[in-house]
Amino acid sequence: MTAPARPPRHPSLRRRLLLGILLPVALFIAFNTYSLYQQTLTSLNTAYDRTLLASAKSISEQLDVQGYDEAAQLRATVPYSALEAFEADNQSQMFYRVSTLQGELVSGFDELPVWRGQIPAQPPYAALVDFYDERLRGRDVRVAVLLQPVASAQGRTMAVIQVAETLEVRETLALQLLYNTLLRQALLIGVIALTVVLVVQRAIHPVRRLSQQLQARREGDLSPIAAPSTPRELQPLVDATNGVMQRLSQLLRDQKRFVRDASHQLRTPLAVLKTQVQSAQRGDVEPTQALREISDTVDRATQLANQMLALAKVEQLRQQSAPPVIRLDEILRTVALEISPLIAQRNLDFGIHTEPAHVQAHEWMVRELSRNLLHNAVRHAPAGTELAVDLCADGTGVVLTISDHGPGIDEELATRLFQPFSAGDVRTGSGLGLAICQEIVKAIGGTITLANRMEGHGVSGLDAVVRLPLAAHSNDRDGRAIAAQSAA
């Protein structure tokens, strides 16, 4: 057997925060370290270039000249010991070269290449000086060139003084500064990482506490989560979880109630049906009468099962998302047309008056509501009497009134007719019709009442009144429709 596939492991909140914070910080530190290293090299070059310039000026003080211009002869008496003062801790070595403008060596190191460059238009110092990098004896050197006028009582000319220094000191200092900088930056990253870990650890502590609280619950416990100390950012999650648990709890209650009612209510007609079949098998009643009784029992059981399923469907639709906007008047007329054979069978004087009415509800709910109310009215209205249906809509809501001329109901029965399995006549009803109507009206957000209609000193009939909220945008639509009809 193959091992079950492990669920994918998603990165933890701690890891996401560490990556989200440390990665940009590390990139910034790398860029900052590189910039700082370049600035350090620039600063070191500036400082040591000043030393090279001082060395060149010191050499210029040891120069003498005889003759003028092309006939001038330079003389230099520069001992190498004069440069030792500018060497740093014996780590670097200095070289110099004194020559004429034509490149003729006067004094110094002949292997130091002759300067062939130009003096910058704006030199960094108040002197004719230029700085550049060169190779000497296989080593990198930094060279300062000074064009120094030389004058004496015997002559005047221009000398080219070059002073070179190896780069060991500069590179050592630069690397030391870079090492110190990287060490401090690494310490900074470590402090940030430790801070993030500690903060995340503390921040997710309420999440762990909620998880432990849920895991410690008994099976089937769907009570709301009590978390008064939950951080504000987690409160929407707690509220959403409580909402889901509340809906699950309601669904479980509805399921248990449906199973309980089904097992209780269907047991009786099935037992009666079994008795009738056994009686027919023994020949206690005539076959025709037995089949008629069995058919009546099956019809009542079928009606009961259908109404129980309808009641369960109401609860199912109640949990769904926002229903669409529908025309109640059109559905009401369609249902009235469907049950017209029943109306004609009882010879009822049927009248219906409707106005355009928009409600926000599932079409099945409205159709089931209309069918149950009309069925009840047709069944209880005396044959040959009037049955009136009136639907009107105003700015506040929709009012549906179904009026019959039956005997009405007493007050004690009116209080329990909307309860499941509470029928006025157990021989003709299952007691679920008005309960279904009540649940549908509550799901839509309306009310339903049964009231005796009084005339004189007696009851002239019963009014079933349903009040439903008008759809939010139906007023404007109705107004436009009326205006369009007036214009036509």
- pLDDT tens digits, 81-123: 556 655 555 567 888 888 888 888 888 888 888 888 888 877 7
Mean pLDDT of the chain: 79
Whether residues 348 and 244 share a domain: the answer is no
Residue 297 maps to a domain: no
Maximum Cα–Cα distance across the chain? 162
The two structure tokens encoding residue 84: 């030792």
Distance CA(236)–CA(227), nearest Å, equals 12
Radius of gyration of the chain (CA): 52
Residue 39 maps to a domain: yes
Give the full edge-to-edge strand order of the sheet including 458-468: 349-354, 386-393, 398-404, 458-468, 447-455
What's the pLDDT score for residue 51?
A: 83
pLDDT in tens, 369-382: 898 889 888 888 88
What's the pLDDT score for residue 453?
A: 86
Task: Classify residue 426 by its DSSP letter.
Answer: T
CATH number of the domain to which 458 belongs: 3.30.565.10
Task: Classify residue 284 by its DSSP letter.
Answer: S
State the burial class of residue 296 (Cβ atoms within 10 Å of its Cβ: 0-12, 13-18, 19+).
Answer: middle
Whether residues 259 and 384 share a domain: the answer is no
| Domain total of the chain | 3
Residue 447 maps to a domain: yes
- Which one, of 337, 342, 345, 354, lies nearest residue 389 by Cα? 354
Whether residues 460 and 368 share a domain: the answer is yes
Residue 119 maps to a domain: yes
Give, in order, the Cα–Cα distances in Å from 7 to each of 1, 10, 16, 249: 18, 9, 19, 28
What's the pLDDT score for residue 285?
A: 77
* Sign of the four-CA dihedral 43, 49, 50, 51: positive
Residue 308 maps to a domain: no
Whether residues 117 and 46 share a domain: the answer is yes
Whether residues 165 and 257 share a domain: the answer is no
Whether residues 113 and 238 share a domain: the answer is no
Strand partners, 160: 99, 147
The answer to whether the CB of 122 falls within 8 A of the CB of 107 is no
Question: How open is the CA angle 173-176-178, to the nearest 5 degrees?
Answer: 110
Distance CA(277)–CA(289), nearest Å, equals 12
What's the pLDDT score for residue 467?
A: 92
Q: What is the pTM of this model?
A: 0.48
* Pairing status of strand 155-166 against strand 63-68: parallel
Whether residues 20 and 161 share a domain: the answer is yes
State the burial class of residue 75 (Cβ atoms within 10 Å of its Cβ: 0-12, 13-18, 19+).
Answer: middle
Please identify every stretch of the chain with a pLDDT value under 70, giving residue numbers as ranges.
1-10, 79-91, 254, 257-269, 303-321, 412, 414-416, 418-432, 473-488
- Which one, of 243, 89, 97, 98, lies nearest residue 158 by Cα? 98
- Which one, of 363, 340, 367, lies nearest residue 351 by Cα? 340
Residue reference for tokens 């310039």? 53
Q: H/E element holding 49?
A: helix 13-60
Backbone angles phi, psi at 461, to 5 degrees: 165, -170
Distance CA(365)–CA(338), nearest Å, equals 16
Domain that holds residue 239: 207-214+222-265
Whether residues 483 and 364 share a domain: the answer is yes
Whether residues 230 and 93 share a domain: the answer is no
Residue 300 maps to a domain: no
Residue 100 maps to a domain: yes
Strand partners, 401: 390, 465
Segments in 204-229 forming alpha helices (H): 205-215
Whether residues 260 and 376 share a domain: the answer is no
Distance CA(297)–CA(375), nearest Å, equals 19
The percent helix, strand, coil of the chain (3-state, each to 5) is 50, 20, 30
Whether residues 238 and 92 share a domain: the answer is no
The two structure tokens encoding residue 417: 């007719």
Whether residues 246 and 116 share a domain: the answer is no
CATH number of the domain to which 159 belongs: 3.30.450
